[in-house]
């Protein structure tokens, strides 16, 4: 690919910012996909974005717009989402996994609130410090990194998929009632926890790695299948209208309904109990001969890499991405700026 400069002096040297060029190329790619509805957010000096903050982008967007939040060394502030938007970041753990992004900076934000007017929104590839709050119906949170995903009001038809949540997925208000929520293929540090007036929920193919006695799955009137819970004290709450089948647990219990207890987790994962050379999320891949292989409902693998929405390493969003770029630091009027880029389609 060659980017031409305008005619002028016979020789001009231009020190290009690689990050700016990558953003420009990505904008071109996304523009093809999303037409005129792409909004760029970037707070890096010299990036020439549409907006510097996610809040400005939301406030000036129209329903149905797509906001691309580009990687930065400086964290973005939080945002109150009040439109139906698609928000896309570059992912997380970008330096830990292969072929992620040529620009290895993450898009880190403060708290994210899906407020009135945001129903129908999708967020992906964002690293949200602390919490993503959901106050409305029809929200998709996928391939994000955060400490908490909290339902703060009555919510229907939410999808919580393929996230790395090092705290909990839970409700933050005891009056919040959830129905028809799917929580699948998430790596969770503490618990998936909702009150007795919730359900039906579907809790499939998650890995919960917390070790405390209150860690595990605490939901009601729901389907719970194909999950792996690594802590010897962590559990799935029973006798609450749940259907609990084909889960793997380290805690004591009697095998029944496809559930396996007393599982040695060192036999399950490639990076357990020590991470070794594996990435923070890659360590949860199943090792050869794992008892989780084929142990799920209908013979699928248990854990986050099985099922219909397998976890994607680094939370890479489902859009084309530049994973390698070689860009000359000098441009010439007769040759332009030479660069070689490698692009992968979204998964």
Residue 233 token pair: 């004290």
- Write out the residue range of the structural domain in which residue 182 sits: 144-311
Identify the pLDDT of residue 32: 42
105-119, 210-224, 289-303, 333-347: the lowest-pLDDT one: 333-347
How many domains are there within the chain?
Answer: 1
Identify the pLDDT of residue 335: 67
Identify the pLDDT of residue 195: 81
Contact 261, 240 (CB under 8 A): no
Residue 218 token pair: 């605490």
Identify the pLDDT of residue 329: 66
Identify the pLDDT of residue 318: 83
Identify the pLDDT of residue 70: 96
Specify the pairing of strand 337-344 against strand 321-327.
antiparallel
Q: What is the DSSP string of 274-314?
A: S-TTS-TTGGGSBPTT-TTTT-SGGGPPSSTTSSSS---GG
Give the model confidence (pLDDT) of 256-273 as tens digits.
999 999 999 999 999 999
What's the mean per-residue pLDDT of the chain?
Answer: 87
- Asked, for residue 252, whether it belongs to a domain, the answer is yes
Residue 97, phi then psi, degrees to nearest 5? -115, 160
- Asked, for residue 240, whether it belongs to a domain, the answer is yes
Alpha-carbon 216 to chain mean position: 20
- Asked, for residue 155, whether it belongs to a domain, the answer is yes
pTM of the model: 0.86
Q: Which long-range contacts (CB under 8 A, 24 or more apart) does 126-133 make?
A: 126/69, 126/87, 126/88, 126/89, 127/89, 127/92, 129/75, 133/172
* Mean pLDDT in residue range 323-329: 58
65-79, 93-107, 138-152: the lowest-pLDDT one: 93-107
- Asked, for residue 129, whether it belongs to a domain, the answer is no
Identify the pLDDT of residue 256: 97
- Asked, for residue 59, whether it belongs to a domain, the answer is no
- Asked, for residue 294, whether it belongs to a domain, the answer is yes
Identify the pLDDT of residue 321: 58
């Amino acid at each position: 690919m060659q980017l031409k400069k305008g005619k002028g002096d016979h020789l001009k040297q231009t020190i290009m910012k690689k990050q700016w060029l990558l953003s420009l190329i990505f904008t071109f790619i996304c523009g093809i996909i999303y037409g005129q509805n792409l909004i760029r957010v970037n707070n890096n000096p010299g990036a020439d974005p549409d907006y510097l903050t996610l809040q400005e982008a939301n406030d000036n967007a129209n329903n149905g717009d797509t906001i691309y939040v580009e990687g930065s060394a400086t964290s973005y502030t939080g945002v109150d989402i009040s439109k139906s938007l698609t928000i896309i970041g570059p992912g997380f753990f970008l330096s830990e996994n292969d072929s992620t992004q040529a620009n290895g900076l993450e898009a880190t934000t403060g708290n994210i609130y899906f407020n009135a007017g945001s129903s129908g929104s999708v967020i992906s590839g964002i690293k949200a410090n602390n919490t993503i709050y959901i106050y409305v119906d029809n929200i998709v949170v996928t391939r994000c990194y955060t400490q908490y995903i909290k339902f703060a009001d009555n919510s229907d038809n939410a999808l919580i998929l393929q996230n790395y949540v090092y705290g909990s997925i839970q409700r933050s208000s005891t009056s919040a009632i959830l129905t028809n929520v799917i929580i699948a293929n998430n790596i969770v540090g503490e618990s998936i926890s909702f009150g007795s007036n919730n359900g039906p929920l579907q809790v499939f193919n998650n890995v919960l790695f917390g070790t405390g006695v209150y860690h595990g799955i605490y939901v009601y009137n729901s389907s719970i299948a194909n999950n792996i819970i690594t802590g010897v004290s962590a559990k799935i709450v029973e006798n609450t209208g749940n259907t609990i089948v084909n889960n793997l647990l380290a805690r004591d219990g009697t095998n029944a309904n496809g559930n396996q207890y007393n599982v040695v987790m060192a036999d399950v994962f490639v990076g357990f109990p020590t991470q070794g050379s594996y990435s923070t999320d890659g360590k949860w891949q199943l090792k050869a001969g794992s008892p989780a292989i084929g142990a799920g409902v209908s013979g699928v693998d248990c854990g986050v890499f099985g099922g219909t929405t397998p976890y994607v390493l680094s939370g890479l969003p489902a859009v084309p991405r530049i994973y390698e770029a070689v860009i000359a630091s000098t441009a010439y009027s007769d040759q332009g700026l030479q660069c070689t880029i490698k692009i992968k389609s979204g998964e």
